[in-house]
Every structure is written in structure tokens, then in C-alpha cells.
């Protein structure tokens, strides 16, 4: 079993144990912070090294150009959120669909089929949102397109059923090398989504099913013999990301978020995700 599938399995066991041992939803913010700081952000904190690892995929002539492009993408994303939160969210979702799908497909199929990557990621996000839709509606009240929807007639089982049905139809219509393990893994993820609140669902998925396998793959590609040494390499940019988040919150709170902390977290994550997606796309080639 390769390192990706093994770490996915460990991730699923960790996520399931949270359900099984029953974590009170009041701890979800703490859980979210711990997972994001320990796994979520660190898995993207070595982008500056990863971008130069695969010579076939290298696109930057120097580190300076890399940093300019990387930071510009972050800036563009923030401006987009300020101008139009709806557009900001839409672009974040579209890019996340591709990125999450790409990681999910790893170990089960080649990542060459871009449409498959996107569809699998879209399935996962669809399920995350559908299974926590009332909560999501409360968070995204600033979007009139979303806040006016009346979902009171629908039971939560209905949304789980829809997400599983869409997943089944998606999986059957693509040529996937290891179709059943992929489907089975996503089924477990859906169960986690159903039984936990939105923040916990996102933290468990993002941390254990997305970031952890990628972190392990990065560790493998670094050819470092010591995981601790590798992990220390992620720390400088993890700390910088935190500083960036605090500064953004301190100076732009009203403009960006109308005091909606969870939405603000979305903005931070999307800003960090946007450039990271392009780096990872090259990194996972032929994996």
C-alpha cells in the first residue's frame, strides 16, 4: 500500500474516532484551530520548495518570480472578496473542487483526467455543504442568493441521499482504475459530514483526508529521513500565514466580514489556497 493510501486510511480512522468518542460541538472551533495549525496550513507551507522539486513541471525562473506570483495571487483573491464576496466564494469553490478532487483521486487513479478531479472534489464539497446546509445558510447570510432559500421542508437525510446518489452516478460514469476503494473512502467521509457540524466536518476532512496525505507525500518527495526535521521546514511559513491572518483581521474586519468570523476564516483559507492549488497541480503530476 503506498504512502498516500496509508495516510488516507490513518486520516479516516482519526476522523471516525472523533465521531465515535463523541466530541461536543462546543469544541469544534478548538478542534478546527488545532487541525489547521498542525496539519492544514503546514501542508501548504513548503510550496516555495515544492515548486522547484519537479523539474518537468517547473515554471519559475527564480525564487523572486515565484514569490511575486504567489503573493500577487493572494492579493488578487483578497481584492476579489472585498469587491464581490459572491464572486470570491464562487472562485474559491471552483478552485477547491479541483484541488480537493485531485488529492482525493491520488492513489486510486492518475490525476491526468482534470474533469474527474473536478467532479470528485465537487462531490465532496457538495456533500459537506448539503449535510450542513442550515448551518451554512446562517453563516453565509450576507449572500442574498443563499439566505432567501427555504429549506425547512427538507430533512437532513434527504441531503445525504442526494449527495450519495450524485457520488454513485459520478463514479460510475468515469473510467477510474480503483473505483470501489475511492467510492468507499468518500462514503466514510460523507458519514463524518453527516454526523458532525460544519466546522468539525471541514476540519476533519481538510486536516485528515486532504492535508495529512499531502504532507506525507511531501515528506516522501523531500527524501528526508526525519519527519521532525521536515516538519520544522513548514514552520516559518505557517507562522507567516498566521501573522498574515491576524493582520488582515485587525485592519480589515468591517470591510471584509461584517464580524462574521467563520466567513473570515473562509477568506483566509481561500487566499492561502489559491496559489497553493497551482503549485500542487504540478507537484502531483505522475503521482
Partner 1 sequence: MLNFIFDAASVAPGDFTGFTFFIGSVSMLAATVWFLMQHGQVDKKFKDSMLVAALITGIAAVHYFYMREQWVLTGESPTELRYIDWILTVPLMVVEFALLTGVGMRKLFWASVIMLVTGYFGESGVMGGTATMWGTASALAYFYMAYEVGCLTIFGGPTGAVGTALNSASGKIPSAGRMLQWFVLVGWAIYPLGYLMGTDAGQWYEGMSNIALDMNVVYNVGDAINKIGFGMAVWSAARS
Residues that bind partner 1 (CB under 8 A): 16, 19-25, 153-158, 160-161, 164-165, 168-169, 171-173, 178-181, 183-184, 187-188, 190-191, 194-196
Cβ-based nearer residue to partner 1, 74 or 199? 199
Cβ-based nearer residue to partner 1, 41 or 120? 120
Cβ-based nearer residue to partner 1, 158 or 232? 158
SS (H, E, C) the chain: CCHHHHHHHHHHHHHHHHHHCCCCHHHHHHHHHHHHHHHHCHHHCCHHHHCCCCHHHCCCCCHHHHHHHHHHHHHHHHHHHHHCHHHHHHHHHHHHHHHHHHHHHCCCCCCCCHHHHHHHHHHHHHHHHHCCHHHHHHHCCCCHHHHCCCCCCCCHHHHHHHHHHHHHHHHHCCCCCCHHHHHHHHHHHHHHHHHCCHHHHHHHHHHHHHHHHHHHHHHHHHCCCCHHHHHHHHHHHHHHHHHHHHHHHHHHHHHHHCCCHHHHHHHHHHHHHHHHHHHHHHHCCCC
What is the smallest separation between the CB atom of 109 and partner 1, expressed in angstroms? 14
What is the smallest separation between the CB atom of 160 and partner 1, expressed in angstroms? 6
What is the smallest separation between the CB atom of 133 and partner 1, expressed in angstroms? 14
Cβ-based nearer residue to partner 1, 67 or 154? 154
Cβ-based nearer residue to partner 1, 76 or 166? 166
Cβ-based nearer residue to partner 1, 204 or 215? 204
What is the smallest separation between the CB atom of 107 and partner 1, expressed in angstroms? 13
What is the smallest separation between the CB atom of 180 and partner 1, expressed in angstroms? 5
What is the smallest separation between the CB atom of 156 and partner 1, expressed in angstroms? 8
Amino acid at each position: 500500500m503506498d504512502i498516500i493510501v496509508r495516510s488516507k486510511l490513518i486520516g479516516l480512522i482519526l476522523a471516525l474516532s472523533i465521531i465515535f468518542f463523541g466530541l461536543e460541538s462546543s469544541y469544534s472551533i478548538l478542534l478546527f484551530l488545532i487541525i489547521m495549525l498542525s496539519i492544514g496550513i503546514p501542508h501548504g507551507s513548503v510550496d516555495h520548495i515544492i515548486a522547484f522539486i519537479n523539474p518537468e513541471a517547473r515554471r519559475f525562473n527564480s525564487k523572486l518570480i515565484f514569490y511575486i506570483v504567489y503573493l500577487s495571487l493572494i492579493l488578487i483573491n483578497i481584492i476579489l472578496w472585498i469587491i464581490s464576496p459572491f464572486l470570491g466564494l464562487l472562485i474559491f469553490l471552483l478552485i477547491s473542487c479541483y484541488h480537493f478532487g485531485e488529492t482525493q483521486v491520488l492513489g486510486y487513479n492518475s490525476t491526468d483526467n482534470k474533469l474527474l478531479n473536478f467532479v470528485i472534489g465537487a462531490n465532496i464539497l457538495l456533500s459537506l455543504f448539503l449535510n450542513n446546509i442550515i448551518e451554512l445558510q446562517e453563516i453565509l447570510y450576507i449572500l442574498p442568493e443563499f439566505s432567501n432559500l427555504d429549506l425547512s421542508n427538507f430533512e437532513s437525510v434527504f441531503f445525504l441521499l442526494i449527495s450519495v446518489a450524485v457520488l454513485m452516478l459520478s463514479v460510475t460514469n468515469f473510467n477510474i482504475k480503483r473505483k470501489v476503494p475511492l467510492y468507499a473512502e468518500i462514503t466514510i467521509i460523507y458519514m463524518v459530514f453527516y454526523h458532525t457540524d460544519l466546522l468539525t466536518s471541514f476540519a476533519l476532512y481538510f486536516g485528515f483526508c486532504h492535508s495529512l496525505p499531502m504532507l506525507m507525500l511531501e515528506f516522501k518527495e523531500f527524501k528526508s529521513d526525519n519527519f521532525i526535521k521536515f516538519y520544522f521546514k513548514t514552520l516559518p511559513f505557517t507562522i507567516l500565514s498566521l501573522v498574515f491572518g491576524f493582520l488582515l483581521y485587525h485592519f480589515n474586519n468591517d470591510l471584509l466580514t461584517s464580524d462574521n468570523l467563520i466567513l473570515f476564516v473562509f477568506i483566509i483559507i481561500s487566499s492561502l489556497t489559491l496559489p497553493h492549488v497551482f503549485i500542487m497541480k504540478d507537484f502531483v503530476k505522475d503521482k
